[in-house]
Amino acid sequence: MKSYEGGITVDKYSAIILAGGKGSRMKSENSKVLFELLSKPLIDWVIAALKESGAGEFCTVVGHRRELVCEHLKGQCEFAVQEEQLGTGHAVMMARDFLKKHQDESVAILSGDVPLITPETLKGAFEAHKESGADATVITARLSDPFGYGRIARNPDGGVEKIVEQRDATEEQKKIDEINTGTYFFKTAALLSALDNLKTDNAQNEYYLTDAIAYINKTGGRVGTYEVSDITEMTGINDRAQLYDVSVVAKERLFTALMKSGVTIMDKSSTFISPDAEIAPDTVILPCTIIKGRTKIGRACTVGPNSVLDNVTLGDKVTFNASQAADSVIGSNVKVGPFSHIRPGCDIADDCKVGAYVELKKAKFGRGTKAPHLSYIGDAELGSGVNFACGCITVNYDGKNKHKTIIKDKAFIGCNVNLVAPVTVEDGAYVAAGSTITDTVPRRALAIARSRQSVKPGWRDKSGLEK
Ligand code: UD1
Ligand code: CA
Whose CA is closest to 265, among 243, 290, 246?
290
Q: Which of 88, 174, 211 to mutate to test the pocket of ligand 1 (most atoms within 8 A of CB)?
A: 88
Distance between Cα 95 and ligand 2 center (Å): 19
Q: Which residues of 261-294 are buried (b: 16+ CB within 10 A; e: fewer)?
A: eebebeebeebbbbbbbebbeebebbebbbbbbe
**23 CA closest ligand 1 atom index:** 26
The long-range contacts involving 252-260, CB below 8 angstroms and separated by at least 24 positions, are 254/38
pTM of this structure: 0.88
Distance 407 CA to ligand 2 centre (A): 58
Q: Which residues pair with 59 in a beta bridge?
A: 16, 78
Amino acid, res. 388: F
- Which amino acid is it at 354? V
Given this model, what pLDDT does residue 11 score?
73
| CATH 3.90.550.10 intervals, the chain | 14-234
Ligand 1: nearest atom to the Cα of 165: 11
- Residue 318: name the closest of 359, 342, 287, 354 by CA: 354
- Whether CATH 1.20.1070.10 fits 256-447: no
Give the pLDDT of residue 442: 98
The segments of the chain whose pLDDT lies below 70 read 1-10
Instruction: Give the C-alpha distances (Å, rounded to integers) separating 351 from 286, 368, 417.
Output: 22, 5, 23
How far apart are the C-alpha atoms of 190 and 217, rounded to whole Å? 11
Picking from 22, 13, 14, 30, the residue whose alpha carbon sits closest to that of residue 78 is 14
Superfamily of segment(s) 14-234 = Spore Coat Polysaccharide Biosynthesis Protein SpsA; Chain A (3.90.550.10)
DSSP state of 100: H
Q: Which residues contact 354 (CB under 8 A, 6 or more apart)?
A: 323, 334, 335, 336, 337, 340, 342, 348, 360, 365, 371
Nearest to 191 by CA among 154, 161, 221: 221
Active-site residue list: 373
Closest ligand 1 atom to residue 86 Cα is: 23
Q: How far apart are CA 255 and CA 429, in angstroms?
A: 49
> Start-end ranges of CATH 2.160.10.10 in the chain?
256-447
The alpha-helical segments, DSSP class H, found in 133-186 are 171-174
Rounded Cα distance, 131 and 129, in Å: 6
Taking each helix axis as running N to C, give the angle between helix 42-52 and helix 66-73, from 0 to 180 degrees, rounded to the nearest 10: 40
Measured CA distances, 461 to 454, 456, 466 (Å)? 17, 11, 8
Specify burial of residue 152 (Cβ count, 10 A radius: 0-12, 13-18, 19+): buried
Ligand number nearest to the C-alpha of 212: 1
Main-chain phi, psi angles of 198, to 5 degrees: -75, 145
Ligand 1 pocket by Cβ (under 6 Å): 18-21, 61, 63, 82, 85-88, 90-91, 111-113, 149-150, 163, 165, 179-182, 208-210, 236
Contact partners, residue 161, CB within 8 Å, separation at least 6: 153, 154, 155, 214, 217
Crossing angle of helices 211-218/188-195, nearest 10°?
100
- Tell me what pLDDT residue 7 has: 45
Nearest CA to ligand 1 atom 25: 21
| Amino acid 409: pLDDT | 98
Report the nearest-CA residue for atom 13 of ligand 1. Answer: 182
